Structure 1
Amino acid sequence: MNIREFSEQTGLSAHTLRYYERAGLMGDVARDENGHRVYGPQDSQWVSFLHHLRETGMSIREMERYASLRGQGDATLQQRLQLLEQHTDQLARHLREQHEHLAKLRETVAVYQNRVHGRVLRGGDGRDLTASPPPAGDPAHRR
């Protein structure tokens, strides 16, 4: 398929696909007799994987490193595994941090909801959580 069709199939713009190619992420993309790019199923699977790496926060530099190792064949399996394990650990750490931030945000929203609706929200020690001002750092925090 040509770049327009491939772009539609992958959901990535032609610009992004060309960028990935220039960055060395795509390897050698086949070309027809007119020099136009021709993509096949293996390209689709690879671009899908690259997209997942990017969406999980992997840097282009790390993606380039992975693609370079991949281009060297099975002799680099251990290195690729190590790179993916490191990225997985980083992503898991990031997700844990995001969950902690989400929990704090939800807690603050609950305080606001209860204050707006005049309900008393009690902490584990019995104190009225709605009576206290919004947490420090909150733009609505009263000084």
Structure 2
Amino acid sequence: MESYLTIDEVARRTGLTAYTLRYYERIGLIASIARTTGGQRRYAASDMAWIEFLLRLRTTNMPIGKMQTFARLRGVGDSTVSDRRQMLEEHLTDVLSEIEALRQSAEALQAKIDYYRSLEHPSAPDSLSDEGHGNEERKPLRTRSRKAAGD
């Protein structure tokens, strides 16, 4: 016998609020949830798996409109498998581009952190290269202003 979860249990497990779960159902991200005779929602394991997938899409910054399109296609059935795969492939391309942009930004931040660390603890006053830190002249570090350091 399959066990079912209440909306409060699903909220605790997913980190979503009960309000958000009801909203997702209202806008079509989640198909109608089974209910007790008293009208209380009961979420099955398959509902939980779908909600977890929606959370993955949300984490990757997929817009709600695209998530709704994907959910509608899923509701139609197997005839939309190719469309859903294509949507996910396109989104994956976007996600990988964002990851690359973040990687490049992280490298730039690390370079700047390393540069500031070297200013705090210079090994030799004239030993630093200013490459990547602006076009300032090479001067002894102790005489550089904040402006010259690239701030």
- Which TM-score band applies after superposition, normalised by the shorter structure? 0.7 to 0.9
Which residue in 1 is equivalent to 2:39? Answer: 35
Gaps of 5+ in 2: 132-136
Does the 8 Å contact 1:31/1:38 carry over to 2? Answer: yes
TM-score (structure 2 length as normaliser): 0.81
- Could you tell me how far apart the structure 2 residues matched to 1:55 and 1:19 are? 18
Moved over 4 A (4+): 127-132
Q: Does 1:134 align with 2:141?
A: no
Give structure 1 stretches of 5+ with no counterpart: 136-140
Which of 1 and 2 has greater Rg?
2
What letter corresponds to residue 88 of structure 1 in structure 2? Answer: L
Deviation sequence 1:56-111 (CA, Å, 0-9, x none): 11010010000000000000000000000000000000000010011011111111
| The one of 119, 122, 128 aligned to 1:118 | 122
1:130 Cα deviation (Å)?
8.5
8 Å CA contact 1:123–1:129 kept in 2: the answer is no
Cα drift, residue 129 of structure 1: 9.7
TM-score by length of 1: 0.85
Question: How many aligned residue pairs are there?
Answer: 134
Tell me by how many angstroms 1:128 deviates.
Answer: 6.0
Distance 1:63 1:123, change over 3 A: same
TM-aligned CA distance change 1:129 to 1:51, over 3 Å:
farther
Q: How big is the shift at 1:134?
A: 2.9
Identity value in percent: 34
Q: What is the root-mean-square deviation of aligned Cα atoms in Å?
A: 2.1
